[in-house]
Amino acid sequence: MSTIPEKIQQVRLQIDQACRACGRPDNSVQLLAVSKTFGVDAIAEAAEAGQRAFGENYIQEAVEKIRYFAEQDAWKDQGLVWHCIGPIQSNKTRLVAEHFDWVHTVDRLKTAERLSAQRPAQLAPLQICIQVNVDGGSTKSGVAPDEVAALVQQVAQLPQLQLRGVMSIPDVVADFAAQLAVHQRVKAVFDEIAALGLPQLAQWDTISLGMTADLQAAVQAGSTMVRVGSGIFGQRDYGSAH
Ligand SMILES: *Cc1c(COP(=O)(O)O)cnc(C)c1O
């Protein structure tokens, strides 16, 4: 079995190959290591291999890990970056605002308002992606593509947030062309917002899109950040973590 550093290397290689297949530079796609349900030892192994960006879904569990690394002399100045990629209930916004660096899952103004109000003034603005639902029904998280511009214009007014881009979790479909078509809709939303030319969009540079199964299509469509969990850390055991 491969170790965590070996698996990170393999995923990076997959990203590089996907980039080359469509003529993008290798370093144009960041790897977000999704560490939900895995402990601090696994995260430290990944960090020792050079991984810096980590994605977490469950707020309480994540905050314990973030605090752990913030308190370790060996890690506190190593520039680990924590991304919230799970749904956020209203009663969890304060924990998110106080501990994370990024939030990928903003799909309502109310959540954004609370995150901005609760972001401590001494911290950098929270980096925000708007979650877009390009393929699903009304039960799925994310804003409909035609509602993103209105939400962006409102979020842009919030002082403690910095808009960075869009995030999406399309259903995985087997057919590559179909995958690509869905991913390209996410890219189209990203481009449409960029074209608004708002001054608050100076750092609008992120498309958080693609997981292990659809990485290649996501990169071809323009993803700048792929989120990989089990491909790095192994299968998750939800039973023991919760
Ligand atoms: C869990 C998760 C991932 C990673 O999924 P894997 O199948 O483990 O690679 C990526 N994105 C989101 C939003 C997730 O919740």
Q: For a pocket test of ligand 1, which of 11, 31, 85 has the largest count of ligand atoms closer than 8 A to its C-beta?
A: 85
Please state, in angstroms and rounded to a whole number, the distance separating the CA atoms of residues 242 and 239. Answer: 6
Enumerate residues 6+ apart whose C-beta is below 8 A from 94.
114, 118
Ligand 1 atom closest to the Cα of residue 231 is 9
If one counts every other C-beta atom within 10 angstroms of the C-beta of residue 108, the result is 16
Ligand 1 atom closest to the Cα of residue 104 is 13
pLDDT in tens, 40-97: 999 999 999 999 999 999 999 999 999 999 999 999 999 999 999 999 999 999 999 9
Residue 8 is encoded by which pair of tokens? 């990170």
Using the mean position of ligand 1's atoms as its centre, give its distance from the Cα of residue 34 in Å.
6
Helix (H) or strand (E) holding 105: strand 102-106
Contact criterion met (CB below 8 Å) for 4 and 38: no
Residue whose token pair is 């309480």 = 60
What domains, with CATH codes, occur in the chain? 4-234 (3.20.20.10)
If one counts every other C-beta atom within 10 angstroms of the C-beta of residue 9, the result is 14
pLDDT in tens, 90-129: 999 999 999 999 999 999 999 999 999 999 999 999 999 9
